[in-house]
Amino acid sequence: MEDLQENPTTCLPGDENGGLFNAIVDPKSKDNSAIFPLDGVELDDVLDDKLIELLEVAPIIYKIGGTTIVRLSQTLALKGGDNVLYSEAETLRFIAMNLPDLRVPRVHRAFKVPDEATYFGARAYIVMDYIDGMNLGDCWKHLDSERRKDVVDQTAHIICRLQSIEFPTSGALDNNTSPCRGHFFTDYSAGPFSSTSEMEAWFNHKLEVSQGVNQAPKDIPPFRFSKFVLVHQDISPRNIVLDTSGNVWLLDWAYSGAYPPAFEAGALHAQMRFSEFNEMLLKRFDWDEGEVRQLNGIGYALTCAAFA
């Protein structure tokens, strides 16, 4: 395996400065004719320290903030950084064991490195399948109505399969040691919660804050959580790849965990982009309108009053 020099990257259109919150990519990462650092190399022969190094120099598939995804070989990708949690790997492993029919990346290795200088106190690294295909966020507008319907139906099927798995408690799938992340836990995360009642108390406080400044209807009832299922919580065309056979692969499980079913529909309601996809998908699976209304009601406390 040769030593590598850092690859040049380019900002996505409109992101000329490549700043902290501007996504950057290396076009080479999508070039299947290119030679990648671990082509012809057995992963078992690669030390963790070398993988950490490769995260900095391998062709970037996608990088934004504290999350970087690079191409290791024709078949492998590496996701890592100080915004990546080990719990994401545990979710993917759980799916591989319990829902093997779902098209998600397989995890080949995962580890974390303590780092008190980071927000979460560690940096996680996940070696997973590289999924070759078209990003739905790039090609949705070019699909005809029949293809769009097929993609939405496949995605709805994934949601239904996820929600067929129930859990006794909420939280990340690493024995609830990682904080809860996603739209309904603020940009800063929350928890982990030691019990359902503790999670309910956190959400009811957010509801009280929003209602107290007239940012939520007074008739929204308190939260009472009785069912927890497997939730992705960030389903969007940008996190979906269509392979050459038109199959849907769902990526980016950073916000996943055991949460109330309404969190999936609520997250779709909160999406600002791809409104047609969101509206079509929300018609393809069951969700509780009242529970989603509750979640929408705490929007003020999750954003403008995140620390209240």
* Interval 104-121: pLDDT, tens: 999 999 999 999 999 999
Task: Fill in the DSSP letter of residue 176.
Answer: T
Same domain, 110 and 157: no
Domain termination site, one of 130, 153, 186: 130
| CA atoms within a 13 Å half-sphere pointing along the CA-CB vector of 90 | 20
Q: Backbone dihedral region of 36: left (phi > 0), alpha (psi from -120 to 50 degrees) or beta?
A: beta
Residue indicated by tokens 């598939």: 61
Does the pLDDT value for residue 65 go beyond 70?
Answer: yes
Asked if the structure places residue 273 within a domain, the reply is yes
Task: Give yes or no for a contact between 4 and 54, defined as CB atoms under 8 angstroms apart.
Answer: yes
Residue 82's nearest CA partner among 42, 113, 47 is: 113
Asked if the structure places residue 308 within a domain, the reply is no
Same domain, 155 and 266: yes
Q: Among the listed ranges 13-22, 123-132, 179-188, 272-281, which one has the minimum average pLDDT value?
A: 13-22
Task: Give yes or no for a contact between 86 and 160, defined as CB atoms under 8 angstroms apart.
Answer: no
Does the pLDDT value for residue 85 go beyond 80?
Answer: yes
Number of domains in the chain: 2
Domain region containing 36: 10-130
Same domain, 209 and 286: yes
Provide the pLDDT for residue 46.
98
Asked if the structure places residue 1 within a domain, the reply is no
Same domain, 175 and 299: yes
Domain termination site, one of 78, 105, 130: 130
How much is the mean pLDDT over the chain?
A: 93
List the Cα angle 163/164/170 in 5-degree steps: 55
Residue 296's nearest CA partner among 184, 131, 137 is: 184
| 242-300 pLDDT, tens digit each | 999 999 999 999 999 999 999 999 999 999 899 999 999 999 999 999 999 999 999 99
**Whole-number CA gyration radius for the chain:** 20
Residues 6+ positions from 142 with CB-CB distance below 8 Å: none
Same domain, 24 and 79: yes
Same domain, 112 and 145: no
Asked if the structure places residue 216 within a domain, the reply is yes
Provide the pLDDT for residue 285.
98
Same domain, 188 and 100: no
How far apart CA 129 and CA 156 sit, in angstroms, is: 23
Task: Give yes or no for a contact between 301 and 209, defined as CB atoms under 8 angstroms apart.
Answer: yes
Strands 228-231 and 257-259, by their bridges, are antiparallel
Same domain, 99 and 209: no
Provide the pLDDT for residue 22.
83
Residue 265's nearest CA partner among 283, 284, 242, 282 is: 282
Provide the pLDDT for residue 1.
44
The terminus-to-terminus CA distance of the chain in angstroms comes to: 51
Query: SS3 for 125?
Result: strand
Give me the CATH number covering residue 147.
3.90.1200.10
The phi and psi torsions of 229 (rounded to 5 degrees) equal -130, 175
Task: Fill in the DSSP letter of residue 90.
Answer: H
Strands 122-129 and 248-250, by their bridges, are unpaired
Q: Kindly list the distances between the CA atom of residue 144 and the CA atoms of 11, 139, 141, 153, 235, in Å, as whole numbers in the listed order.
A: 29, 10, 8, 14, 21
**Residue range 90-102: mean pLDDT, rounded:** 98
Provide the pLDDT for residue 292.
98
Provide the pLDDT for residue 74.
98
pLDDT band per the 50, 70, 90 thresholds, residue 21: low
Task: Give yes or no for a contact between 73 and 92, defined as CB atoms under 8 angstroms apart.
Answer: no
Same domain, 289 and 174: yes
- 0.75 cut: is pTM over it? yes
Cis peptide before 8 (omega within 30 of 0): no
pLDDT band per the 50, 70, 90 thresholds, residue 16: very low
Provide the pLDDT for residue 8.
45
